[in-house]
Amino acid sequence: MDALLEEEDISTWLPAATTTSLTSAVAEAAPADGVDRISSLPDNLLRNIVSRLPVRDGVLTAVLASRWYSLWLSTPLVLRDSDLLLASDLDDEVALAVGFAAVGCILADHPGPFRKIQLTCCEFGTRERELEEWARLLAAKGVQDLVLLDVDDSTKDDVLQRLPKDILRCASLQRLFLGYWSFPAMSTDVAFPHLKKLGMQNTSMRDEDLDHILACSPVLQILALKLSKSPERIRLRSKSLQCMVLWTATHPVDYAKTKTSPNSIVPSVKILALKANFSSVNDVKMLLSYLRCFPNVEMLHIELPLDVPTVGTLALPMESPTTVAFSVLVI
Amino acid sequence: MAAPESGDGNNGAARMVTLISSDNTRFEVEAAAASLSQTLQLTILDGGGGGGDGIPLPNVDSATLSKVLEYCIKHAPAAANGGAPNATAVDRAELERFDNEFVNIDQSVLYSLIMAAHNLEIEGLQSLVAKKVADMIKGKSPMEIRRTLGFPDPTPEEQAEMNAHMLEYGWAYE
């Protein structure tokens, strides 16, 4: 049934809080005879080894010898900016600036393809020019898996940095997670022909921006939204969507606005996860109305806050005879 | 080489095949274990390796082949389960323990193993060794990596080049 969940636990593919990972060195004896045997291996095997290194170690092998430099350039790039920083660096402005510069160098030097780029430590507040350039590089070098968070909290009043338009032109993307951005005025050239998973956290957008993205993502299977203020209305029009994950951060989802109509039914969704706040029986009833939009759900996850009293029993409006696995994450 | 008790009851007694190393040592092993090699699997499906024939492996010496087969025999039951989705946590932990112990060997043996795994197309073994070598490199300075891998000390020119590269990324060399 839930092949999607088997393939990957959806709760883990959203990026966690910044983790740092300068791996501690494994104590390793030099070869007893000091002979360089690794160089006798063919390039494809050495690339297999290089591809398993965090980016900092990968860059270090690139400075060993010209052969290793070519190897690093011809291994699809996996870059997590947290791999370039020590835990202690996170409060150190200079170290962060050095890490930021290193990310820029690597994105510029490496010819692609970019298999996975995860930027969760960068403050883009005063670096609009670099941000535009990076976005251009990500699109040009075929990024497949991108996590882009703007951690800049120096700006007040919820002013979010504008997401560069080039991010919406990364046609090679299969997985995209965005956090703390405001959407640019949409142009028509959004294209995500291969995008299977999309997550957005505290990213402000107009209702029609989400519509447009869904319309431009014909193979999207998983949509995860952690909402702040917008979009105000989520309209799911997708034939491919199989799993929907929804959190509410600062405002509860107004289920009252949910109307079941042929336009709002998404029959392909099989897994639905909601984090919600039920304060009255009415809220529960509204949730039921919302669930009618997903007639074929096989797995429903609902996470409730601990301090809210139970206001009623959920009778699921599922008419399909298939077993409904009803799991409440927190009661 | 002694074959373990067969868990495969489909064909009665487990089918055995003979592999011949480059130095002419013969290894008799269950077909299921040898079939972890994509290359050998095709030959075995065609009925090769049985009887007195044996499959010659001119690129793999006996020391390496014996090690490769040790891996294959251990991993064959899980592979027969299609990547072992039903394996218990205990089984998985045991395989992990075996793998960690298995690659705790001299570098020269590691490189022979990864070459053999590559030639015989044994994906799991190739990944296991590649990961081990990557772990040997992780978290070290360029000089430590050079020493670990047995590279000769850099010439002054090479050292200057390494320095320039490092500075490009904002890092000081050593």
Listed residue (B164, B174, B107, B106) closest to B140, CA to CA: B174
Lowest mean pLDDT among A155-169, A193-207, A213-227, B1-15: B1-15
Asked if A95 and A123 touch (Cβ cutoff 8 Å), the reply is no
B11 domain residue, yes or no: no
Which residues of chain A make contact with B140, given a CB cutoff of 8 A?
A: 25, 57, 60
Are B87 and B158 part of one and the same domain?
no
Determine, yes or no, domain membership for B5: no
Residue B147 lies in a domain: yes
Query: What CATH number has the domain bearing residue B124?
Result: 3.30.710.10
CA dist B88 and B72 (Å) reads 19
pTM for the full predicted model: 0.78
| A172-198 exposure pattern, b = at least 16 Cβ within 10 A, e = fewer | bbbbbbbbbbbbeebeeebebebbbbb
- Higher local confidence (pLDDT), A293 or B115: B115
Q: Determine the residue of chain B that is closest to A44 in CA distance.
A: B118
Q: Are residues B36 and B91 in the same domain?
A: yes
CA torsion angle for A247, A14, A133, A195 (degrees, to 10)? -90
- Cβ contacts below 8 Å, chain A against chain B, sum to 104
Return d(Cα A225, Cα A178) in angstroms, integer: 10
- The answer to whether residue A267 scores a pLDDT higher than 50 is yes
Q: Do A28 and B136 touch (CB under 8 A)?
A: yes
Distances (CA, A) of B106 to A39, A68, B95, B141, B148: 16, 22, 21, 21, 12
Q: Could you tell me if B128 and B148 lie in one domain?
A: no
Distance between CA B40 and CA B33 in Å, rounded?
10
Residue B62 resides in a domain: yes
Residues in B closer than 8 angstroms to A60, CB to CB, are 137, 140-142, 145
DSSP type of residue A75: S
Amino acid in the structure at residue B72: C
Question: The dihedral of CA B80, B82, B85, B90: what is its sign?
Answer: positive
Say if B145 falls within a structural domain.
Answer: yes
Summarize pLDDT for A209-228 with one digit per residue, the tens: 888 898 899 999 988 888 76
Return the half-sphere exposure (C-beta side, CA atoms, 13 A cut-off) of residue A131.
Answer: 19
Question: If pLDDT is split at 50, 70 and 90, which confidence band does A77 have?
Answer: very high
Longest CA–CA separation in chain A, Å: 77
A327: β partners: A301
Contact status of B118 with chain A (Cβ, < 8 Å)? yes
Residue A21 has pLDDT above 50, yes or no: no
| Shared-domain flag, residues B123 and B156 | no
**CA–CA gap between residue A87 and residue B167 (Å, rounded):** 22
The verdict on B46 and B125 lying in the same domain is yes
Task: Provide the number of structural domains found in chain B.
Answer: 2
pLDDT at A280: 62
Whether B33 is in a domain gets the answer yes
Share of chain A above pLDDT 70, in %: 67
Residue whose structure tokens are 């290793």:
A68
Confidence of residue A230 (pLDDT cuts 50, 70, 90): low
- What is the CA angle A65-A68-A74, rounded to 5? 145
Rounded to the nearest angstrom, the minimum Cα separation between B146 and chain A is 7
Task: Based on the fold, state whether residues B24 and B90 are members of the same structural domain.
Answer: yes
Together in a domain, B21 and B87 = yes
Instruction: Check whether residue B108 and residue B173 sit in a common domain.
Output: no
**At a CB cut-off of 8 Å and minimum separation 6, what does A109 contact?**
A73
Confidence class for position A282, pLDDT limits 50, 70, 90? low
Nearest CB partner across the interface for A64, out of B115, B138, B146 = B146
Q: Is residue B2 part of a domain?
A: no
Distance of CA B130 to the CA centre of its chain: 9
Q: Write out chain A residues lying below 8 Å of B139, CB-based.
A: 22-26, 57
Q: Which domain holds residue B88?
A: 16-138
Task: Say if residue B153 is exposed, middle or buried (CB neighbours under 10 Å; 0-12, 13-18, 19+).
Answer: exposed
Q: Say whether both B30 and B110 belong to one domain.
A: yes
- B135 contacts in chain A (CB < 8 Å): 26
B115/B145 same-domain check: no
Q: Within 10 Å of residue A313's Cβ, how many Cβ atoms?
A: 6
Q: In this structure, are B98 and B51 located in the same domain?
A: yes
* Residue of chain B minimizing CA distance to A106: B169
Asked whether the bond before A231 is cis by omega within 30 degrees of 0, the reply is yes
For position A45, what pLDDT does the model report? 96
Higher pLDDT, A272 or A312: A272
In a domain, B22, yes or no: yes
Residues B78 and B99 in one domain: yes
Q: What is the pLDDT of residues B93-139, one digit of tens each?
A: 999 999 999 999 999 999 999 999 999 999 999 999 999 999 999 98
CA-closest candidate to residue B80, choices B14, B28, B35, B128: B35
Best of A23, A28, A39, A110 to disrupt the B interface by mutation (most B CBs within 10 Å)?
Answer: A28
